[in-house]
Amino acid sequence: MKKVVLTIAAPLFFPLLFPAGAQSLKKMEAVSFSQVDINDLFWKPRIEKVSLVTIPVCIDQTEVKTPRIRNFEKVARKKGEKHEGIYYDDSDVFKALEAIAYSLKNHPDKDLEKKADEWIDKIAAAQLPDGYLNTYYTLTGLDKRWTDMEKHEDYNAGHLFEAATAYYNTTGKRKLLDVAIRFADHIDSTFRLQNRHWVSGHEEIELALVKLYHTTGNKRYLDLADWYLQQRGHGYGQGAIWTNRNMGAKYCQDDVPLKEQQEITGHAVRAMYLYTGAADVGAEKGDPGYMDAMKRVWEDVVYRNMYITGGIGSSGRNEGFSTDYDLPNEEAYCETCASVGMVLWNQRMNLLTGDSKYIDVLERSLYNGALDGLSLSGNRFFYGNPLASTGRNQRSEWFGTACCPSNIARLVESLGDYIYAKSGDAIWVNLFVGSTTTVNLQKGKVALQQQTGYPWSGAVQLAVMPERTQKFSLRLRIPGWAQGEPVPGKTYRFADEDTSKFVIEVNGKPIAYTLEQGYALINREWKKGDKVSLYLPMPVRRVRAIDSVKQDKNRVAFQRGPLVYCFEHPDNAGKAMNFFIPSKTPFTTEYNGDLLNGVVVLEAQAPVVQASTDGSSVSTVNKKITAIPYYAWANRGPGQMQVWVPEKAGEIRIDAAAN
C-alpha cells in the first residue's frame, strides 16, 4: 500500500466549550492523539500490528465474511431485501471506521483511506431523509423503530458519532460528520424536544454526543447527552430487557437516578460507557452532582469489584457484576470491552480531579485487562479474559457479537490520547510511552521528547524544549505501585517489603519536588534542552488479596511495574497448576527477546507436586518455574494458566495438577 501524508483538520467551528453560566470542573485537558507521535519500543510495534493486521481483519469480517456492509447496500437499493445478522451489527462498522481514522494518522495509507470513503458513501446512501440511520429497522420495518429501548438504535448512533468526529479530525472530510449531525438532530427532535421519555438499553450515545459537541460547537448535542443521563432511574425503561426477571432495570443502570447511584450494577460495558458520558457531561455543564456520583461508584468498582488485572465484570450470566468481592478466576468474565471502558472512564476522572489514582487504574486495565484481548499476531481475540484456565480457553478469529476486536483496535490506535495532559500553566505526564508532542501553554509552546524502556524498565527520560525560557509546572505521575500500593483501596496489598525509592533528576542532578495527588510537581523556569530523568524501581512484588476475596485466599499473584504476571503451560513442563510458591521465594528477572515478541520473564525455584507412577502417592521436588506477562498468554495453544498461585501444597487443585 502506498503511503500518503494526511492533513489534520481544524475544528468545524470555535467550540463552545462551556455553556453560559457554567464553569468547567476539569483540572486539565488531554493532549490529543493527533498531536502525539509514538516511537515507543513496546507500543509502536503494537500500533503497527493493529494497522497492518487487525484493521484488515476487521474490514474482511465486516465486508466479506459477514453481512454488515451488505445491509447498508440493501437499504440503498430499496428493493425490500431482508436484514442479515444481529440488530446491533451497524456499530461494528462504525467502530472499525473509528479505528481506521486513528490508524490513518499513525500509519497513513491511501488505500485504507479509499476503503473508508467507500464505506462512508454506503452509510450515507442508507440514511433516510429525516436523518434516521439503522439498517435493522429500515429493512425489517420502520414502524417498529424507536419502540424497544434495548434494540441499540442509539448505541449504534453513538458509535457513528465517534467514528464521524475521529474521521473528520484526522482527514478533514466531513461527509460522515454530516451524516452524524443529521442523525443526532433527528434523535433530538424525536425525544428531547418532544419531551418523550427514552432510556437507552445500551449506553454509549452520551459520551459520543459530547464528542460531537466538541467538534461542532453546537450546544444542542451537550444538552441531549445530559437529557439522556437524566432519563435514568424514573421507571421510564421499556422493552424486553426491562421485563426479563433475570435482568431488569439494574442491568441497564436504570434502577435509581444517576446522581443518586451508590454502587456498580448490571452490565459492565454499559456501565463504563454511561459513567464516561456522565463525567464528560458533568465537566462541561459544571455539574458536581455527576462528579459526586462518579466518585462513589468508582470506589465501589475499584475497591470491591475489580480484578488485579484491572478487569471488571466477574459474571458471564449478565456480562457484568454480581456481589462485592465475588472475583472467580477460571470463571471470570472480564470482557475486553469493559477494560476498554475502564480506560475511557478513568481518563475522564483524572482530567476532572487531577488525581493520579485514576491513571493508575487506567494503566492497569490498559496493560493487562485490555491488551490481553488482542493476540500478539493481531488476528485473534479474547471476548472474556479469565485469570485461570485448565486449557479450555482459546483466542477466536471473530465473534457473532463482534464488539471486542474493533474496540481494542481503536483503543490501541488512539493511545496517544492518554499520555499527556495540560492545564494553563502545567504539563502532566500520565503514561510512560516513548513519544514526542508539542503542548500549548499560556506562555507559549513546549515540545517534549519522551524516551523509555517501559514497561520492562523503569527509566524514563524527558527532554523539555520550550520555544523560549518560561516558568511552568511539570507533573510526573508516580505510579501507586512505585509507592507501595498495587491498587487504590485495600482489596490488594503487597505482601513483601521493598525499600527501593523512585528518583527524579533534572539535568543529571536531584531536583526539589512535592508530591501532590500522586504527581511529582516540579515548578521551575524551564529552558530548551532541559532533561528530566525518572527512575522507577521494578522489583518483583508479591500481591495478596483480602480474605473477602474467597477465591484468592492463601494464594498470591506477582506484579512487576505495571504488569501482572501469570504462569502458563509452555514455560512449566506443560502444566501450570501443579506447584506452590512459599512466602519469601526469591525471583529473578530476565528479558527474553525471542519469547512472545520479547518479554521480561520471572523465574524461581518452587516445589512442584508430582504423582508416583502407580498414582498411589504424591511428592514434591523443587524445579524452576517461569511466569510471563498476563497479556501474552494463550498465544501458544490451549493449556493451563493461572495468575493466583497457592502458597501451600494443600491449596493445589489435585484434578488440575494431575491433568
Q: Which residues are catalytic?
A: 319, 403
Q: How far apart are CA 184 and CA 224, in angstroms?
A: 9
Residue type at 425?
A: D
Query: DSSP E strands: which ranges in 289-412?
Result: 388-390
Distance CA 587, CA 609 (A): 19
Neighbouring C-beta atoms of residue 483, cutoff 10 Å:
14
Q: Please give the grid coordinates belonging to residue 153.
A: 438504535
**Look-up: residue for cell 477465591?**
551
Q: How far is CA 538 from CA 44, 305, 560, 595, in A?
A: 22, 26, 6, 20
Answer whether the bond into residue 56 is a cis peptide, omega within 30°.
Answer: no
User: Cα(178)–Cα(183) distance, rounded to whole angstroms?
Assistant: 9
Let me know if 64 is exposed, middle or buried by CB neighbors in 10 A (0-12, 13-18, 19+). Answer: exposed
Max Cα distance, the chain (Å) = 81
Using CB atoms within 10 Å of the CB of residue 360, give its burial: 0 to 12 exposed, 13 to 18 middle, 19+ buried. buried
* DSSP per position, 426-482: EEEE-S---EEEEEEETTEEEEEEEEE-TTT--EEEEEEEESS-EEEEEEEE--GGG
Provide CB contacts within 8 A for 650, sequence distance 6+.
none
Which residues are bridge partners to 420 per DSSP?
A: 429
- Residue 508 contacts residue 533 (beta carbons within 8 Å): yes
Nearest alpha-carbon partner for 238 in 213, 201, 209? 201
How far apart are alpha carbons 493 and 609 in whole angstroms?
28
Give yes or no for a contact between 417 and 106, defined as CB atoms under 8 angstroms apart: no
